[in-house]
């Protein structure tokens, strides 16, 4: 399978390997071109000089003089020299043994046919031939350099210089071998580096994906080890943050579901008991029956309330859109107080207000109303008869502040930090009696947050409680 690891490896290897391969071949090419050029020029020049010097002697028949001259040159040029006439017959040969024979060298034939004034070529005709031609044993290469000899009537023959090129070929071979071995070393090094690099690069990714697989199977507690630095470290950290978030979300959700089902079960169980007693006691007195029906009706109301609250909460979880508008907070506060006045009156409580006029907040009207309603409703519920509840609306330092203060039963210090949690009630038994589910304040907190505000509670058991909601004036959500 083509994993990132292998891709990195391959890419790295290809880049390093190919570029070095190209560099090496170019370099060898350049070196050999240079060496060959130099050699060709050298040999051709020598041959030309020889042809020039030999031509006059070749015409006059001073064989001895010519022989001496050739011998001398053969030593200084370190090679075999031959002079060939226009018919291709070898007239002089410093090795002597080819004298009188027809020349077989291509370059010489070319010059003699008139195609070129000079010719040069390196050949590998087999070791035996090489040894026979150049006298060099164990050599694979031999070079022929030919130049025409001219007299007054034009070409009179050609000079052939057989030179030894084995050492040149050897040094080229050495250069080549060296480059190949350097190439091999670099290739191996590149491979090793690529291996290490790809491992370093992919290990964290593999770790994350392994962890993700585990998480996918349902284990939300797994974390990626955070190692190294840079982006990969960040990847691991971010992943862990996300995992932690998921885990806590999962926990909260589970808790929420179990709390919710518990809350729903209780009224259902109560209703079932009442219904069963009505079924199995057909001769139940009519008043008792009516009483039971009223109770059942009440339970249904409670259930409806809980379900409504749950819906509100889940909708807010889904980041339900806010319908923002300019809300006259002064009016809204008075309206809400008006709504709750009958409930307070029933308990012979004083519901006092201290509302500054013309305070406007840009926010969601129904949510803002719900916030104050829930707080005031709590104040009424958790304050004994004939108590006093005070609702105020102020604007201070550009912030809009609601205060709901009662002189009721208050909230123990230990419970204060929990009352905003879903389903949290200070007194579980009392909650059921008064019809509370413990969702009111969590809804309040959520809605306050959506408006970019904060909520705090100040309370003393037996003395009363005060809830303070502060909005930044713009009512901007975060």
Contact residues for ligand ATP (CB under 6 A)? 309, 374, 378-379, 382, 406, 408-411, 419, 424-427, 431, 436-442, 465
Across-strand partners of 82? 93, 160
CA dist., res. 324 & res. 310, Å (int): 23
Q: How far is the CB of 419 from Mg ion (least distance, A)?
A: 9
Q: Are 424 and 291 in contact (CB under 8 A)?
A: no
- Interacting partner of 425 out of Mg ion, ligand ATP, none (Cβ under 5 to 8 A depending on kind): ligand ATP
Q: Which is nearer to Mg ion, 207 or 455 (CB)?
A: 455
Q: How far is the CB of 472 from ligand ATP (least distance, A)?
A: 24
Q: How far is the CB of 303 from ligand ATP (least distance, A)?
A: 12
Q: Which is nearer to ligand ATP, 82 or 379 (CB)?
A: 379
| First vs last C-alpha separation in the chain | 46
Beta-carbon contacts of 23 under 8 Å, excluding residues fewer than 6 positions away, are: none
CA dist., res. 259 & res. 252, Å (int): 10
- Interacting partner of 455 out of ligand ATP, Mg ion, none (Cβ under 5 to 8 A depending on kind): none
Q: How far is the CB of 444 from Mg ion (least distance, A)?
A: 8
Examine residue 440 and tell whether it contacts Mg ion (CB under 5 A). yes
Residue range at the interface with Mg ion (CB under 5 A); choices 251-259, 317-325, 383-391, 438-446: 438-446
What does the angle CA 328 – CA 401 – CA 358 come to, to the nearest 5 degrees? 30
Neighbours of 314 (CB within 10 A): 12
**Closest residue to Mg ion, Cβ-based?**
440
Q: How far is the CB of 477 from ligand ATP (least distance, A)?
A: 22
Structure tokens at 50: 């020889």
Q: Which is nearer to ligand ATP, 333 or 378 (CB)?
A: 378
Q: How far is the CB of 224 from ligand ATP (least distance, A)?
A: 38
Q: How far is the CB of 378 from Mg ion (least distance, A)?
A: 4
Structure tokens at 318: 């889904």
Examine residue 336 and tell whether it contacts Mg ion (CB under 5 A). no
Structure tokens at 74: 């053969």
CB < 8 Å & 24+ apart, contacts of 456-459? 457/411, 457/416, 457/419, 459/410, 459/411, 459/416
Examine residue 157 and tell whether it contacts Mg ion (CB under 5 A). no
Q: Which is nearer to Mg ion, 26 or 346 (CB)?
A: 346
**Which of 378, 383, 442, 465 is the binder for Mg ion (CB under 5 A)?**
378
The count of residues interacting with Mg ion (CB under 5 A) is 2
Across-strand partners of 466? 405, 458
Q: Which is nearer to ligand ATP, 136 or 263 (CB)?
A: 263
- Burial class (CB within 10 angstroms; exposed 0-12, middle 13-18, buried 19+) of 148: buried
- Interacting partner of 437 out of Mg ion, ligand ATP, none (Cβ under 5 to 8 A depending on kind): ligand ATP
Q: Are 375 and 456 in contact (CB under 8 A)?
A: no
- Interacting partner of 142 out of Mg ion, ligand ATP, none (Cβ under 5 to 8 A depending on kind): none
Q: Which is nearer to ligand ATP, 47 or 383 (CB)?
A: 383
Q: Which residue, among 468, 275, 309, 449, has the nearest Cα to 390 in the 3D structure?
A: 468
Q: How far is the CB of 248 from ligand ATP (least distance, A)?
A: 21
Q: Are 400 and 393 in contact (CB under 8 A)?
A: yes
Q: Which is nearer to ligand ATP, 28 or 446 (CB)?
A: 446
Q: Which is nearer to Mg ion, 207 or 404 (CB)?
A: 404
CA 308, 314, 318, 319 dihedral sign is: positive
- Interacting partner of 424 out of Mg ion, ligand ATP, none (Cβ under 5 to 8 A depending on kind): ligand ATP
- Interacting partner of 422 out of Mg ion, ligand ATP, none (Cβ under 5 to 8 A depending on kind): none
Q: Which residue, among 278, 264, 271, has the nearest Cα to 307 in the 3D structure?
A: 264
Q: Cα dist. 296→133, 275, 293, 308, 432 in Å?
A: 126, 8, 5, 18, 14
Q: How far is the CB of 384 from Mg ion (least distance, A)?
A: 16
Q: Which is nearer to Mg ion, 395 or 446 (CB)?
A: 446
Helix 440-450 with 286-317: angle, nearest 10 deg: 30
Q: How far is the CB of 440 from ligand ATP (least distance, A)?
A: 2
Q: How far is the CB of 380 from ligand ATP (least distance, A)?
A: 8
Structure tokens at 161: 């210089």
CA dist., res. 244 & res. 238, Å (int): 10
Q: Which is nearer to ligand ATP, 17 or 431 (CB)?
A: 431
Residues found near Mg ion in the complex (CB under 5 A): 378, 440
């Amino acid at each position: 399978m083509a994993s990132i690891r292998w891709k990195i490896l391959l890419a790295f290897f290809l880049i390093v390997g190919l570029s070095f391969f190209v560099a090496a071949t170019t370099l060898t090419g350049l070196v050999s071109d240079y060496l060959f050029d130099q050699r060709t020029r050298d040999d051709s020049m020598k041959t030309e000089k020889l042809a020039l010097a030999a031509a006059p002697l070749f015409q006059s028949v001073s064989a001895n003089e010519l022989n001496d001259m050739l011998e001398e040159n053969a030593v200084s040029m370190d090679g075999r020299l031959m002079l060939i006439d226009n018919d291709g017959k070898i007239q002089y040969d410093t090795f002597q043994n080819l004298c009188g024979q027809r020349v077989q060298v291509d370059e010489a034939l070319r010059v003699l046919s008139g195609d070129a004034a000079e010719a040069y070529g390196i050949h590998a005709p087999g070791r035996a031939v090489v040894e026979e031609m150049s006298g060099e044993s164990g050599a694979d290469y031999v070079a022929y350099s030919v130049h025409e000899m001219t007299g007054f009537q034009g070409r009179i023959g050609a000079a052939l210089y057989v030179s030894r090129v084995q050492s040149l070929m050897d040094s080229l071979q050495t250069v080549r071998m060296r480059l190949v071995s350097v190439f091999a070393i670099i290739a191996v090094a590149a491979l090793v580096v690529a291996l290490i690099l790809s491992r370093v690069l992919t290990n964290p990714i593999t770790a994350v994906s392994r962890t993700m697989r585990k998480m996918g199977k349902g284990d939300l507690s797994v974390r990626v080890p955070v190692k190294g630095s840079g982006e990969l470290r960040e990847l691991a950290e971010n992943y862990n943050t996300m995992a932690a978030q998921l885990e806590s979300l999962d926990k909260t959700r589970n808790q929420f579901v179990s709390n919710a089902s518990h809350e729903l079960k209780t009224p259902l169980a109560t209703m079932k008991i009442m219904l069963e007693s009505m079924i199995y006691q057909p001769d139940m007195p009519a008043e008792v029956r009516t009483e039971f029906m009223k109770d059942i009706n009440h339970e249904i109301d409670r259930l409806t309330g809980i379900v409504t609250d749950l819906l509100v909460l889940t909708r807010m979880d889904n980041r339900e859109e806010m319908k923002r508008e300019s809300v006259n907070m002064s009016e809204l506060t008075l309206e809400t107080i008006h709504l709750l006045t009958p409930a307070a009156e029933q308990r012979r409580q004083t519901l006092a207000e201290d509302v500054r006029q013309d305070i406007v907040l840009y926010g969601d009207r129904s949510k803002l109303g719900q916030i104050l309603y829930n707080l005031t409703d709590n104040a009424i519920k958790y304050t004994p008869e004939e108590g006093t509840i005070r609702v105020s609306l102020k604007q201070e330092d550009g912030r809009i502040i609601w205060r709901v203060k009662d002189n009721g039963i208050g909230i123990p210090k230990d419970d204060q930090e929990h009352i905003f949690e879903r389903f949290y009630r200070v007194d579980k038994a009392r909650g059921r009696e008064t019809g509370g589910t413990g969702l009111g304040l969590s809804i309040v907190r959520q809605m306050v947050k959506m408006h970019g505000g904060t909520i705090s509670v100040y309370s003393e058991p037996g003395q009363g409680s005060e809830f303070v909601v502060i909005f930044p004036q713009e009512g901007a959500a975060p």
